[in-house]
Amino acid sequence: MHRPLLTLLLALAPGISPAAADATRPVSLPGAFEFLLPIAEGEDYRVLVWRPPGEPPAEGWPAILALDADRTFLTLADLVRSQSRNPEATGVRPMVVVGIEAAKDARDRRARDFTPPGGANAAEGGAEAFRAFLETAVKPTVNRVAPLDPKRQALFGHSYGGLFALWAATAHPGDYALYAAASPSLWWNREATLGADLAAIARAKPAVLVTVAEYDQADDPLTDRPGHAEKLAERRMVDNARAFAARLADAGVPTFTAEFAGETHGSTVPAAAARAARVASFVFRSPSR
C-alpha cells in the first residue's frame, strides 16, 4: 500500500494498527475464476466465469455470456450472485455468468470480432469467426468446469457487442435462447443489419431483448462534448433499435424492449445487464426450454 494512503487511513481510523493496515489482500468474487483461450496463434482471449454455489441441475446450469468482459462481467456476476438468492423478489435466478474479452488490443479486436461480414473495412467483418470461437472453444471449455444447459443460454452485448448479438440472432438463431442487445450499433455499415432477413429467427423464435438509453440519440445535458450531439443524431441509435425490435415483433419473435431514461451510451450498461438477467431468468423457466 502507498505510504500516503496508509497514513490517511490511520489518521481516519486511529484504532487500526500499522501492522493490521499493511495486512491487505485483494478482494475476490467467490465462485469466480478465469482462463485464457487462443482464438488464433498468438492471440488469446480472457474467459471469466462465475458459477452459483452448490451442485448444478441435472441438465446443467443456465448461463449468460457477456461480451466486453472488462465492462460487463463483474456487474453481471455480482448482480446474479446477490439477486438470485431471492428470485421470487428479484426475478433473477441462479445461472453461470461468462465474460469474454481480448487479452490485448481489445478495441481493435472488438471492431473485428463484433461486426458482421460485408463491411467495406478489411479490418472488420469477423463475426462468423468469433461466433465459431464461442461455440467451439469457449462454451465447451466452460462446460468442463461449470456444466451448462445447452437449451438455457443467453448472449449479452453492448454497442458493437449489441450489433453482434442482433446479427447472431438472425444468422444463427439456434445458438441461444435469448439474445440481449444493449444500445446496438445498428448504424454500422449504413444500417445493413437493420434490414437483415428474419426468416430463420422467425422459425426458431429465440427471445430477443433490445435496450437503448435516452441519450443514445441526443447529448446528455450533464456533459459538454462539442459536436457529439450531431454524431448521435446521425447514428439514430434509438430510432434504429425501435425499428429493429418492431420488425422482430411483427415476425412473431418473442421481443422485449427497454429504454432507460437519464442514461448515456456508456452509463446504460449496468441497467441493461440487470434487465438482461431478469429477462433471461424469465425465458429460461419457460416449459418449452
Query: Is the pLDDT higher at 128 or at 227?
Result: 128
pLDDT reported for residue 288: 46
pLDDT reported for residue 21: 57
Domain ranges of the chain: 1-30, 31-284
- Residues 115-172: tens digit of each pLDDT: 999 888 988 999 999 999 999 999 999 999 999 999 999 999 999 999 999 999 999 9
pLDDT reported for residue 176: 98
Q: Which among 183, 263, 265, 281 is annotated as catalytic?
A: 265
pLDDT reported for residue 17: 63
pLDDT reported for residue 283: 97
Q: Say whether pLDDT at 81 is over 70.
A: yes
Query: Is the pLDDT higher at 46 or at 231?
Result: 46
pLDDT reported for residue 174: 97
C-alpha span between 97 and 269 (Å, rounded)? 15
Q: Which among 34, 59, 230, 234 is annotated as catalytic?
A: 230
Amino acid at 83: Q
**How many alpha carbons fall within 13 Å on the CB side of residue 212?**
21
- Helix ranges (H only) for 135-220 are 139-145, 160-171, 188-191, 199-204
Q: Say whether pLDDT at 221 is over 90.
A: no
pTM of the model: 0.90
Cell 451510451, located at residue? 265
Q: Which among 159, 183, 185, 281 is annotated as catalytic?
A: 159
C-alpha span between 12 and 21 (Å, rounded)? 12
Domain 31-284, CATH homologous superfamily name and number: Alpha/Beta hydrolase fold, catalytic domain (3.40.50.1820)
158 is catalytic: no
Q: Could you give phi then psi for residue 109, rounded to 5 degrees?
A: -65, -40
32 confidence band (pLDDT: 50, 70, 90): very high
Query: Is the pLDDT higher at 26 or at 281?
Result: 281
Amino acid at 223: T
pLDDT reported for residue 289: 47
User: In Å, how far from its chain's centre is CA 72?
Assistant: 6
Q: Is 154 left (phi over 0), alpha (psi -120 to 50) or beta?
A: beta
16 confidence band (pLDDT: 50, 70, 90): low
C-alpha span between 253 and 272 (Å, rounded)? 20
Amino acid at 6: L
20 confidence band (pLDDT: 50, 70, 90): low
- Residue 219 gets which letter from DSSP? -
C-alpha span between 79 and 95 (Å, rounded)? 11
C-alpha span between 227 and 40 (Å, rounded)? 39
265 is catalytic: yes
Average pLDDT on 65-82 reads: 97
What radius of gyration, in Å, describes the C-alpha atoms of the chain? 20
- Describe the chain by its helix, strand, coil percentages, rounded to 5: 45, 25, 35
159 is catalytic: yes
- Residues 117-132: tens digit of each pLDDT: 988 898 899 999 999 9
Interstrand relation of 96-102 and 43-50 (parallel, antiparallel or unpaired) = antiparallel
Task: Report whether 284 contacts 95 (CB < 8 A).
Answer: yes
Query: Is the pLDDT higher at 132 or at 26?
Result: 132
